[in-house]
Amino acid sequence: MEKALIIGDSGAVGGAVAAELRDRGVAVTGLSRSGDGLDVTDGASVAAALDGLGPFDFVLVATGALEIGDAGPEKALDQIDGGAMAAQFALNAVGPALVMRHAAALLPRDRRAVFAVLTARVGSIGDNRLGGWYSYRAAKAAANQIVHTAAIELGRTHKQAVVVSLHPGTVKSDLTAKYLGRHPAVEPAEAAGNLLSVVEGLSVDDSGGFFDWRGERVEW
């Protein structure tokens, strides 16, 4: 890997992945709202930020949020709010889609490259056994569908491209601080190492899949 693009490099996981890649000698381009004014929910902002960039051996979309504004994950149906749900979809599903809109230009056609989007295991419909978290779950499930569909299209023109959803595990960050409870969590640097190990082991046959931090497939 020689060149990488990290969308959301100001976040815990995105920043850790960018730092690990730089330590490995990879030329990293990082973009974020706080650092560059990138608004992934706005198509014009995404287009302006990505114009002329690439190709990259690795693209990671590490944007997203569990809480937006004052709205946290719902525990029951009667807590669903249309505006809060729309905000979740805008950031966690539409945002990655607007970045992926430019994937054909960001990825090379003549060699292997990986385009990965951080989603979450709670976006798995088949693995949902606890309920709740309606908006976040649904937005991440939508992101998974977008990734799977994009993999099919890009596979026609970028024969060596690997397009996947990744679940980083539970990572200690501002996003998860209020929700960790007794759940085990890892530091961002460890999560970054885990994710990059998965990325290195992916093949074209894995494109369109959903993998966790151990490299195991997550059911849709």
CATH for 28: 3.40.50.720
Note whether residue 219 is domain-resident. Answer: no
User: Would residue 218 count as lying in a domain?
Assistant: no
Range(s) of the domain holding residue 58: 3-212
Q: Which two tokens stand for residue 46?
A: 């995404």
Alpha-carbon span 55 to 3, nearest angstrom: 8
Number of domains in the chain: 1
Asked whether residue 166 is assigned to any structural domain, the reply reads yes
Q: Which of 63, 3, 67, 54 has its CA nearest to residue 31?
A: 63
CA distance 30 to 10: 8
pLDDT band at residue 184 using 50, 70 and 90 as cut-offs = confident
In a domain, 220, yes or no: no
- Give pLDDT tens digits for 113-170: 999 999 999 999 999 999 999 999 999 999 999 999 999 999 999 999 999 999 999 9
Mean pLDDT of 71-97: 97
Residue 37 falls inside a structural domain: yes
